[in-house]
Structure 1
């Protein structure tokens, strides 16, 4: 082996790994570290890593630098400590629910949740012996009526997907505290820009980082954190064992998105207010739901809980059923019709054929969703452009 001038051994064959170059300066941009494994100096040093006497990495399924950097940034946004990143938003839901619940436990879910969360509660958890039921998150009395002796957790979204109903977070948190039940809050829609659930009594906070936090539809990730370090360790152990691993590349992309998150959120929220007001009263428009409007069914609670932070999501319903829905989407050619949200650009989705397609028509109707229901994730384009494009599309849908 030859030596570099600084004394490190230089490999005599390109097959051997080369040590990372030493430097008295540091990179401004976070390096991407895709390595699956990390070499230790000795078995003793590896013991030190695994037993917590030293910091470092051994295997990327357990931890890697890009995930840690991203998790630390989201911790700061949420006012949390020790959160971790996993491979998707549903992986975060899975880590929280399956990492903390066991055979014989009971979970209460809000009756208005993301479609796959509802599927997990309705199909996957019961087959593993975890009983579930649903209750209205806007009604604390309904939540309390659903509690059983074996109830261990309640799962809610602050603002529901896609109906935009606002949970009585403070009331449910107080209920959970009285009964010794864990409260898990999916904060994907609202984000810590609007609310920090830990400040309102939540025990667990969940994010689909894929959405507003990353913000560019190019990284699929989730994040979860518990207030109690012991619960956090249980969730993390479960996630590592089941391989709910986050890709270093996706973490690197998402970190770049987080740098502009607050700017994107503020602009998109401003646009959403303008779009919701513009859509109201257009021909063929049955209803518009936006938390910032005084006609929202939970408006009084919104003032106390969210203030002016009413988000970038707008839902609306047009008359005419599926045919009118098809006409609207075809007319909105410059707006991506895609089952996602939180992109820097505006996207349009149709719950009946995407997020809530697994539900029966009767099940969707119970949530207030019809073939004419749409969800808009408002982006940062000029507001006047969005208003003009949606007006043209709505008029095309109504015109037949």
Structure 2
């Protein structure tokens, strides 16, 4: 038999094209000549060379999220924390100061409190719902402010308008994590934020089978810094995960609206139950930021509900066991409802005193509402609450 080359190259030509984006896992891409490769790196022509520097599935996904967020040139990376890392380590230098919201995702807080200081970057935290507190926490060397539109896990709503004005006044970058709220509720770049962050893992992909992040910046120089840092440090997104996330985006609006409607119903139901100390949901009139949420989120409450049992860890354990069928898992945005206990998961690295100052008691839970039948979901929560009362 005549020997053949291992990779003769190319797909067979055809008059049609695929309706679904093909999965393209290739690590490397061949060029026609050194001149052609020079032209590509010089920006004369477009193309791919090595997957760490970019690949088709990541670009397809990034352009779809760009369109949703009103962004240009967003970058898909390997996780939500990879996106946060690209911003904090890709843009800040030793001697800078970053001001973070005091209620961020636990690993974001850890990066601010432990990782950045050892690299010579000073950090502090303040309440993003209180613009005077944020202003007072600024320093002459403050370079960047990092907030979440709706905080994890207490669902406080940041004073976005005030923070945008403050950042402009002081010539400071404002980076906004839009994971909880998504572009369905708010588009921070269009409001005036400088940098946008997503954990695509969550609502955007929506099926708990993808780990991805997304980061976009208005300024081209900032976008280049983010890209170069991500490529150098290998924050590469998997083609397969990008392909799955693009599929998830096809049903995003439908999933968001269904989960949001059920979340509102669950929040109202929990508020009337014995043994529940408080319920947090942005559209409820008893939410501390209700008025701001109504205007900022255009009437949306999103799919997250937080509540606190009036007893401690024993009641929490009993509730989780009693709410059989709801996954106890430190994630959000799945098609199924998930239950998170910050004191034992996302915020376990914080001291008990700091958790207490944030209101994260042993009885505090965060719920990511999924697509179940609402009546069936309420019945499961009732069983959990009854078990907690009997603990």
The aligned residue for residue 318 of structure 2 is: 327
2:121 paired with 1:121: no
Q: How much does 1:96 deviate?
A: 1.0
2:56 paired with 1:65: yes
CA contact (8 A) 1:159 1:189 kept: yes
Q: How much does 1:12 deviate?
A: 4.1
Q: How much does 1:14 deviate?
A: 5.7
Quote the Cα distance in structure 2 between the aligned partners of 1:16 and 1:108.
Answer: 52
The aligned residue for residue 357 of structure 1 is: 348
The aligned residue for residue 288 of structure 1 is: 279
The aligned residue for residue 299 of structure 1 is: 290
Q: How much does 1:307 deviate?
A: 2.5
2:208 paired with 1:217: yes
2:246 paired with 1:255: yes
Alignment of 1:1-400 (within 5 A): 12-13=3-4, 15-400=6-391
Quote the Cα distance in structure 2 between the aligned partners of 1:17 and 1:151.
Answer: 55
* CA deviation map 1:331-372 (0-9, x unaligned): 111000000000011000100010000011111111111000
Quote the Cα distance in structure 2 between the aligned partners of 1:200 and 1:300.
Answer: 18
Question: How many matched pairs?
Answer: 391
The more displaced of 295-304 and 179-188 is 295-304
Quote the Cα distance in structure 2 between the aligned partners of 1:310 and 1:351.
Answer: 21
What RMSD in Å do the two structures reach over aligned CA positions? 1.1
Q: How much does 1:258 deviate?
A: 0.6
Counterpart of 2:317 in 1: which secondary structure?
helix
Quote the Cα distance in structure 2 between the aligned partners of 1:16 and 1:311.
Answer: 49
Quote the Cα distance in structure 2 between the aligned partners of 1:319 and 1:277.
Answer: 17
Quote the Cα distance in structure 2 between the aligned partners of 1:46 and 1:291.
Answer: 52
Counterpart of 1:118 in 2: which secondary structure?
helix
Counterpart of 2:175 in 1: which secondary structure?
strand
Q: How much does 1:199 deviate?
A: 2.0
CA contact (8 A) 1:319 1:398 kept: no
Counterpart of 2:278 in 1: which secondary structure?
strand
Question: Which runs of structure 1 show a deviation greater than 3 angstroms over 4 or more consecutive aligned residues?
Answer: none
Counterpart of 1:272 in 2: which secondary structure?
helix
Quote the Cα distance in structure 2 between the aligned partners of 1:141 and 1:16.
Answer: 63
Q: With structure 2 as the length reference, what TM-score do the two structures score? A: 0.99
Query: Is there any run of 5+ residues in structure 2 with no aligned partner, and where?
Result: none
Counterpart of 2:308 in 1: which secondary structure?
strand
Quote the Cα distance in structure 2 between the aligned partners of 1:360 and 1:267.
Answer: 36
CA contact (8 A) 2:281 2:305 kept: yes
* CA deviation map 1:199-232 (0-9, x unaligned): 2210000000000000000010000000111111
Query: Is there any run of 5+ residues in structure 1 with no aligned partner, and where?
Result: 2-10
